């Protein structure tokens, strides 16, 4: 992914609740706080992956039903 592609992704997220998090200056945080933040973000990624998987399963079930 190029920087311009990433900039496009950020533009799409500008009004999302995650926008301030992405723009936050990480240099002001301690290592401890950064590690805590990283653990929280990894947990959120797992939760999001499960939601995506669940939606995919529901879509597949619906498609199978209507075949």
CA distance 34 to 41: 10
7-22 average pLDDT score: 84
Q: Place 3 in a pLDDT band, splitting at 50, 70 and 90.
A: low
Q: Please give the span between the terminal C-alpha atoms of the chain, in angstroms, as a whole number.
A: 37
Domain range spanning residue 9? Answer: 3-65
Q: Place 42 in a pLDDT band, splitting at 50, 70 and 90.
A: very high
Count of domains for the chain: 1
CA distance 20 to 46: 21
47 or 6: which leads in pLDDT: 47
Q: Place 31 in a pLDDT band, splitting at 50, 70 and 90.
A: very high
Closest CA to 66 of 7, 50, 6, 58: 58
Q: Place 15 in a pLDDT band, splitting at 50, 70 and 90.
A: confident
């Amino acid at each position: 992914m190029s920087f311009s592609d990433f900039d496009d992704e950020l533009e799409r997220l500008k009004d999302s609740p995650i926008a301030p998090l992405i723009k936050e200056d990480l240099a002001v945080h301690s290592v401890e706080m950064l590690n805590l933040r990283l653990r929280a973000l990894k947990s959120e990624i797992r939760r999001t992956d499960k939601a995506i998987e669940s939606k995919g399963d529901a879509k597949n079930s619906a498609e199978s039903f209507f075949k």
